[in-house]
Structure 1
């Protein structure tokens, strides 16, 4: 079997204290081709009022693709306020040259009933489709593995996208952390538009106890089987980027995040090749 070399990208959550330009400099220094901008970093990125044209210019000067704006929260609780928020984020994505908008479901225990959650998902997809298509932006549905989430499984997202014939407008995000928490076996590489990667290394913690704050860079102590997930996705035909998305403060406080990311990239690349050999 021929090994497929992973393609890496950076989510701004890798270094939320860096400005957009500094974050893009980090990406360029590491040789990655894609970045994700977030709208939930107080005093930074979109939240600080950075014009989309400024982000587009900064990315272009460094030869970077802006893969996504991350994210429209509670997208499957579709209402007038959500539509207004979606229109603003999609316009920002269009104007900064981003390729996609990440769509995050409600995660507060509401909307989880069988039948209700599937119906809410379809309502949201139907509402988002014309706005995304007019802007030429892809919608990336990201199921969350938490038990409180209203959309835990990629299978339900894929089923809805196919049933509504919206494969040209929507893809799913395969998040290695959430895939592990959800306990879902199927990967859906042909429906995957982006992969988020992070590891958890705390040995005594149960899977159901894991939270965003535990998400670190992937290394040999990882408990989520990132290497197995990544290898399986690549072998099944996924050829898009693997975007680092560590939420842990231990990562954010590292004095040299660039070196830490480079080590994780080297580890993932070497182990993925070994896995495919």
Structure 2
């Protein structure tokens, strides 16, 4: 028996919307969970909104904060990263977030070997685990499928998590966009803590030229196979949230994002 679809909204859906209005939209769409971000200028964390205010606004509408997105680059561990991790963990605990999304180094010019990247990944996970335990939150490791990413596939993340004894505090993020980009065929439903969904409809762009700007809401023209990916996850035991995360400016500029989201939800709910 498959779990029903449970939708959430990442702040990237409508980054210019005030948090109170964003929460109202989630409520209207019957989405009872959101993700906030630390990379949106003049919004929440960057603006200096107290974590307690985020908690109050969400609690008033029965909304769960799934995560803060994101600690970056989590796999390049140093004093700066530790300070950033502690700051975000504090905010997460105070705003009631369940976890912290963690993204790997994703820039050109990384000259490290695969072995060096793997060692750095294990080091970072080992350092982060006690912080997550102390603050009572989860770490959502999100592989990025881009060719320049230091961590492209969930298999590598899962093996590293197991190797450092981190199954109690770490989960992986299954991002339908990055799963497709990485050419990954494995699913890890039992270790998946969160699913990010977005669609791509550009059939002309080569795979290695597809970027965040191509990520729209999931509809009939989707080439990522979102529906099939979601079906596989749900039929093999995943029962968590599907969080909309479109980066395309064409989505951010929509006159009625709520209507567009409703249409995407209806599309994905079709039997």
**How would you bin the TM-score normalised by the shorter chain?**
over 0.9
Match of 1:140 in 2: 140
1:31 aligns with 2:30: yes
3-state SS of the aligned residue for 2:35? strand
TM-superposed deviation, 1:178: 0.2
Q: Structure 1, residues 208-234: CA drift from partner, whole Å, max 9, x if none?
A: 111001100000100000011000000
Structure 1: how far apart are the matches of 2:112 and 2:263?
39
Match of 1:212 in 2: 212
Asked if the contact 1:111/1:117 (under 8 Å) is kept, the reply is no
1:124/1:3 Cα in 2 relative to 1: closer, same or farther (>3 Å)? Answer: closer
Asked if the contact 1:190/1:237 (under 8 Å) is kept, the reply is yes
Gaps of at least 5 residues in structure 1 are: none
Q: For residues 53-202 of structure 1, what are the structure 2 equivalents within 5 Å?
A: 53-109=52-108, 110=110, 112-202=112-202
Match of 1:10 in 2: 9
Structure 2: how far apart are the matches of 1:116 and 1:140?
22
Structure 2: how far apart are the matches of 1:163 and 1:82?
21
Aligned residues: 270
Gaps of at least 5 residues in structure 2 are: none
Asked if the contact 2:3/2:238 (under 8 Å) is kept, the reply is no
Match of 2:254 in 1: 254
Asked if the contact 1:52/1:96 (under 8 Å) is kept, the reply is yes
Asked if the contact 1:112/1:149 (under 8 Å) is kept, the reply is no
TM-superposed deviation, 1:111: 5.9
Asked if the contact 2:2/2:237 (under 8 Å) is kept, the reply is no
Q: Structure 1, residues 23-47: CA drift from partner, whole Å, max 9, x if none?
A: 1111111111110000101111211
TM-superposed deviation, 1:85: 0.5
The RMSD of aligned alpha carbons is: 0.9
